[in-house]
């Protein structure tokens, strides 16, 4: 019998299944109201406009669209991306840009390029699980930094403290990974002050910043803040930021197209890494999206999804206020954009153990502990508000509130409840 375990590489043995993708399988039964995925609302996909753009590719340049392309990306798409970013105040040359098979590919290439086994990156605690998975698959490690109680970015005191301790312990820290605009999973948006402070921290310590911005354009409340990539351009222009963008949340995830912005030497390294992965991003999809972008309709589309998500986010917050037990130790974030909010529950509730009870009541969420590299918080959950309908949001929150209330009642009435401080 072939002993596969002895044949797998150390990297392969280090790969962990995504808890989210495993749980999502459970939540996909038709009668379950799922707040679990990170899916955009499919009824808002601009299907007809995208069909017309695809037709134009097939009639205009089918042979090119069906052929291999360059690893760097199709020039028509790159030209459109440069315009798209310039409209937001980002200065870009063609050499600063690489088209990728959506952001997850970029997230896999980052540790591939920058981490040796045992190296560290700094990331939020919690942070996007797909990044944790990618880092682990190259035997990298995550130095988690908690967010400040104001929900405006990292706790900077903890950042300095933990970084200094890591250096004292001889750890090699390579980069800081952040999602400053409406973080997955918490929905937190970094303040301008904290963005500047993180850039100064990276300048001071010669670290790279990997700024992951899939939700950047999905702002439905408040004012847009400059990205850290832009702040670097506006200050010393040291070009230490790698900015990852994608069409997945602002348009369609199915095309699997995203882009990386960075200084040319870093882009050149990404190109080599990508050559070994997939040679080039789907050429048809690139030309198709370029055709769509040429129409300028993306801007109206983003306005439309933002209006829809604002309404759904407000409604979910309203329903949480209406149905959730009112307690000092139960609360949720109120994001100004993105697709998620984050609920913190009394410390004795483990959302992983609670999930089967929620599924029994036909409602699903993602367990908070999935978003930690280590020291997980077990009493939190992530809820998505973009996918469910208004009716489903009300029914789902009502069911979830009942599951949580029952759990609190069970705790308060049990022997532990009578003796533990939370029960008082």
Ligand X SMILES: Cc1ncc(COP(=O)(O)O)c(C=O)c1O
Q: Which of 40, 46, 126, 130 binds ligand X (CB under 6 A)?
A: 130
Q: Which of 125, 233, 246, 384 binds ligand X (CB under 6 A)?
A: 246
CB of 417 to ligand X, least distance (A): 37
Residue with tokens 């939540």: 27
* Residue (18 or 239) nearer to ligand X, CB: 18
Site for ligand X in 141-200 (CB under 6 A): 179, 184
Q: Which of 32, 36, 38, 139 binds ligand X (CB under 6 A)?
A: 38
The span from the CA of 192 to the CA of 378, in Å, is 30
- Binding status of residue 270 toward ligand X by CB under 6 A: no
Q: Which two tokens stand for residue 168?
A: 């004292």
Q: Are 40 and 305 in contact (CB under 8 A)?
A: yes
- Binding status of residue 102 toward ligand X by CB under 6 A: yes
The span from the CA of 217 to the CA of 18, in Å, is 26
CB of 99 to ligand X, least distance (A): 12
In Å, how far are 122, 144, 158, 167, 192 from 163, measured between CA atoms? 8, 10, 8, 6, 22
Contacts of 208 (CB under 8 A, 6+ apart): 114, 174, 175, 176, 202, 240, 241, 242
CB of 399 to ligand X, least distance (A): 24
Q: Which two tokens stand for residue 111?
A: 């540790």
CB of 130 to ligand X, least distance (A): 5
Q: Which of 124, 140, 214, 396 binds ligand X (CB under 6 A)?
A: 214
CB of 244 to ligand X, least distance (A): 7
- Binding status of residue 211 toward ligand X by CB under 6 A: no
> DSSP class of residue 148?
P
CA-wise closest residue to 36 among 361, 299, 381:
381
* Residue (107 or 285) nearer to ligand X, CB: 107
Q: Which of 258, 346, 368, 396 binds ligand X (CB under 6 A)?
A: 258
* Residue (37 or 396) nearer to ligand X, CB: 37
The span from the CA of 110 to the CA of 260, in Å, is 11
Q: Using CB under 6 A, which of the segments 113-121, 190-198, 246-254, 341-349 binds ligand X?
A: 246-254
* Residue (260 or 287) nearer to ligand X, CB: 260
Residue 293: its H or E element: helix 283-294
Q: Using CB under 6 A, which of the segments 84-92, 101-109, 158-166, 374-382 binds ligand X?
A: 101-109
- Binding status of residue 124 toward ligand X by CB under 6 A: no
- Pairing mode, strands 141-145 and 208-212: unpaired
The span from the CA of 395 to the CA of 388, in Å, is 10
Q: Using CB under 6 A, which of the segments 18-26, 55-63, 97-105, 169-177 binds ligand X?
A: 97-105
CB of 107 to ligand X, least distance (A): 6
In Å, how far are 16, 119, 251, 271 from 139, measured between CA atoms? 11, 8, 33, 22
Q: Which of 40, 124, 253, 396 binds ligand X (CB under 6 A)?
A: 253
The span from the CA of 422 to the CA of 111, in Å, is 41
- Helices H / strands E in the chain, number of each: 17, 13
Residue 29, Cα to own-chain centre: how many angstroms? 24
Q: Which of 34, 103, 186, 369 binds ligand X (CB under 6 A)?
A: 103
CB of 258 to ligand X, least distance (A): 5
- Binding status of residue 74 toward ligand X by CB under 6 A: no
- Give the footprint of ligand X on this chain (CB under 6 A): 38, 102-104, 107, 128, 130, 179, 184, 212, 214, 246, 248, 253, 258
């Amino acid at each position: 019998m072939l002993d596969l375990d002895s044949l797998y590489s150390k990297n392969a043995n280090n790969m962990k299944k995504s808890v989210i993708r495993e749980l999502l399988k459970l939540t996909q039964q038709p009668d379950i109201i799922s707040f679990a995925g990170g899916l955009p609302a499919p009824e808002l996909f601009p299907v007809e406009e995208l069909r017309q753009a695809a037709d134009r590719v097939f009639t205009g340049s089918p042979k090119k669209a069906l052929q291999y392309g360059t690893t760097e990306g199709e020039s028509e798409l790159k030209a459109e991306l440069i315009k798209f970013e310039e409209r937001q105040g980002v200065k870009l040359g063609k050499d600063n840009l690489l088209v990728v098979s959506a952001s997850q590919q970029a997230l896999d290439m980052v540790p591939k390029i920058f981490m040796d086994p045992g190296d560290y990156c700094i990331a939020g605690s919690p942070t996007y699980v797909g990044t944790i998975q990618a880092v682990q698959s190259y035997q990298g490690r995550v130095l988690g930094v908690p967010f400040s109680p104001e929900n405006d970015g990292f706790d900077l005191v903890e950042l300095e403290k933990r970084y200094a301790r890591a250096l004292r312990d001889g750890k090699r820290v390579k980069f800081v990974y952040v999602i400053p605009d409406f973080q997955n999973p918490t929905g937190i948006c970094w303040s301008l002050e904290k963005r500047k402070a993180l850039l100064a921290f990276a300048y001071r310590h010669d670290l790279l910043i990997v700024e992951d911005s899939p939700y950047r354009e999905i702002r439905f409340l408040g004012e847009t803040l400059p990205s850290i990539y832009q702040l670097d351009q506006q200050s010393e222009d040291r070009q230490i930021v790698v900015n990852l963008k994608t069409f997945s949340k602002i348009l369609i995830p199915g095309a699997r197209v995203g882009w990386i912005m960075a200084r040319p030497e870093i882009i050149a390294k990404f190109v080599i890494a990508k050559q070994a992965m997939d040679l080039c991003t789907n050429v048809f999809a690139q030309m198709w999206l370029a055709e769509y972008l040429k129409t300028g309709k993306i801007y109206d589309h983003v306005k439309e999804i933002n209006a829809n998500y604002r309404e759904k986010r407000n409604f979910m917050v309203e329903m949480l206020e209406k149905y959730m037990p009112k307690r000092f130790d139960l609360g949720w974030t109120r994001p100004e954009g993105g697709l998620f909010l984050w609920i913190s529950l009394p410390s004795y509730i483990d959302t992983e153990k609670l999930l089967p009870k929620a599924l029994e009541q036909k409602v699903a969420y993602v367990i908070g502990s999935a978003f930690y590299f280590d020291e997980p918080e077990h009493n939190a959950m992530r809820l998505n508000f973009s996918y469910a309908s208004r009716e489903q949001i009300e029914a789902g929150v009502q069911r979830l509130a009942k599951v949580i209330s029952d759990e609190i009642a069970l705790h308060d009435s049990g022997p532990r409840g009578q003796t533990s401080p939370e029960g008082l």
